[in-house]
Chain A
Amino acid sequence: MTTASTAPVLPVPARHSGGCPFGPPPAYAEAAATGPVTRAELPDGDLCWLVTGFAEVRTVLSDRRFSADIRHPAFPLLIAGARELITDNPDFLRLDDPEHARQRRMLTGEFLVKRVEALRPEIQRIVDGALDRMTAGRTTADLVTDFALPVPSLVICLLLGVPYEDHDRFQSLSRTMLSQESTVEQLREAQEGVLDYLRDLTARKREQPEDDVLSRLAARDDLTPDEAAAMGVLLLVAGHETTASMIALSTALLLEHPEQIPGLADPATLPGAVEELLRLLTIVHTGLPRVALEDVELGGVTVRAGEGVMAMLSTANRDEAVFGGAGHRATDELDLDRDARRHLAFGFGVHQCLGQPLARAELQIALETLFRRLPGLRLAGERGFRTESFIYGMRSLPVTW
């Protein structure tokens, strides 16, 4: 029997080479096969624990003995030398309660389920507009640049009050921030660039408020201008690449399984189909970082206080014991009839994605509309995957109809 302490140490992030382009790097699946908690090595040479099992990932993300505070000296970092970029005021994704809750609660009203439901007609209008432009006078397109990215970009710009005309600038900076290949210097420049952009914008909103999230943040007297700008950066980056990746990857995967596309057409099965796509395509392959504040027994090993852990959502979401079952395909295959609602694609615990009702609405509307309006949609060239990003996704998806 292999114990975690004698198992080979896997470097993280693992390279995405070989294997299915829609899944996590094969090395993670191999690690999961040796046990729910295994040893891994970070780029700086620090060891951490790779947590791959469903139950163990849920524990790490919801047990307050694991901290999300990036200022902890042992917090696991996926880019060598990145510790020098950590400021005294990280965004609330990288803070614990009560400070995390204080800031998160300033935004929760913006993403209430009923509020997002009321936005559906507006999202439908944006999706239809993007498709109108994509199909006007032509029969081929790159689905990534012509549909998957503009839809969430237009939606989040509308909500935040960010001018869409600036999208080239902040999308390019955001890609540098999310790239595993960026140097510390490139990261610093991109981070400052996006922050400066949001600082200017929130300052303008303070002078001339409009009906948008940034104006409401800028008007708060319990938030400093820098905190308001940092929250804006988080929402802008999180609202872009994630949903764009899910739209592009979902489309590419569905084109390989045309027999399942009718599952999107029925309003009764569409939400469940989107949950299955979220489960299988879980785009944060590198996992969510945490640091143990106390010794914790986890999956047969003792994680010591001060040790880093990476909660691997992708492998947890392929756990046969949770998502398998008679009459269904293996969990590394698409099965739109599967009950996938327990998936962890949005994380778990108090940091679970704030924008998940919005992401679900966008995915449901974008995918249903795309395949309804273009029933002859098919691949028209070589697909490009964004393997270097912390948000896995697609670089290009040539299509025709």
Chain B
Amino acid sequence: MQVSVDRDRCCSSGMCVMNAPAVFEQDDRDSLVMLRQTDVLPEQFDDVILASELCPGRAITVTGDEPARTGA
């Protein structure tokens, strides 16, 4: 599973950081979303899907339903 973010759509609600802090953070300079990683580990699937669903700006896209293979 991969995750991507659209910073133009981000409204800095912080919902992603609250629900999946290992994957998302907020940029100190502009408060917009930043990714800590783009490949999602299986144990992070639920948190990242929830963060995507709860994002009020609909700025988070999740693709693929298989665990990411490093280097694939």
Residues of chain B lying within 8 A (CB to CB) of residue A341: 19, 50, 54
Nearest to A106 among chain B residues (CB) is B31
- A67 CB to closest chain B CB, in angstroms? 16
* Max count, chain B CB within 10 A of own CB: residue among A62, A101, A342, A350: A350
B62 within 8 A of A: no
A350 to B10 CA separation, bound complex (whole angstroms): 8
Given the known interface contacts A108-B31, A356-B13, the answer about A113 and B26 at a Cβ–Cβ threshold of 8 Å is: yes
CB distance from B28 to the nearest CB of A (A): 8
Asked if B65 is an interface residue, CB under 8 A from chain A, the answer is no
Cross-chain contact of A114 among B11, B26, B54 (Cβ < 8 A): B26
B11 touches A104 (CB 8 A): yes
Question: What residues on B are CB-neighbors of A353 within 8 Å?
Answer: 13
- The closest CB in chain B to the CB of A116 belongs to B14
**Which chain B residues border A114 with CB–CB below 8 Å?**
17, 26
Segment 26-56 of B: residues with Cβ below 8 Å from A:
26, 28, 30-31, 50, 53-54, 56
Q: Which residues on the A side are within 8 Å of B13 (C-beta)?
A: 346, 352-354, 356
Chain B binding surface SS class: loop
List A contacts of B18 (CB < 8 A): 113, 357, 360
Size of B's binding interface in residues, CB under 8 A:
18
**Given A348-B56, A350-B56, A113-B17 contact (CB < 8 Å):** yes
Q: Which of A109, A113, A354 has the most CB of B within 10 A?
A: A113
Within 8 A of A (CB), among B49-71: 50, 53-54, 56-58
In the assembled complex, the CB of B46 is this many whole angstroms from the nearest CB of chain A, namely: 11
Within the complex, the shortest CB–CB distance from A110 to chain B, in Å, comes to 9
**Contact (Cβ within 8 A) A62 B12:** no
- B21 → A minimal CB distance (Å): 8
B31-A109 in contact (CB<8A):
yes
Minimal Cβ-Cβ distance residue in A for B58: A62
B-chain residues with CB within 8 Å of residue A342 when the two chains form the complex: 53-54
| A105/B30 in contact, CB under 8 A | yes
Given the known interface contacts A341-B50, A348-B56, A349-B56, the answer about A113 and B11 at a Cβ–Cβ threshold of 8 Å is: no
B residues near A360, Cβ cutoff 8 Å: 18
A112 in the interface, Cβ–Cβ < 8 Å?
yes
**CA of A356 to CA of B54, assembled, Å:** 13
Digitize A317-360: 1 where CB-to-B-CB distance is under 8 Å, 0 elsewhere: 00000000000000000000000011000111110111011001
B51 to chain A, nearest CB (A): 10
* Residues in B lying within 8 Å of A, measured CB to CB: 11-15, 17-19, 26, 28, 30-31, 50, 53-54, 56-58
Q: Top 6 closest A-B pairs, CB basis?
A: A108-B31, A108-B12, A352-B56, A113-B14, A113-B17, A350-B11
Listed by A's residue number, 12 A-B pairs whose Cβ atoms lie within 8 Å are: A101-B11, A104-B12, A105-B12, A112-B31, A341-B50, A347-B56, A349-B11, A352-B15, A352-B56, A353-B13, A354-B13, A360-B18
- Taking A113-B17, A114-B17 as known contacts, 16 extra A-B pairs with beta carbons closer than 8 A to each other, sorted by chain A number, are A101-B11, A105-B30, A108-B12, A111-B12, A112-B12, A112-B14, A112-B26, A113-B18, A341-B54, A342-B53, A349-B11, A349-B56, A349-B57, A352-B11, A357-B14, A357-B18
| A residues lining the B interface (CB < 8 Å) | 61-62, 101, 104-105, 108-109, 111-114, 341-342, 346-350, 352-354, 356-357, 360
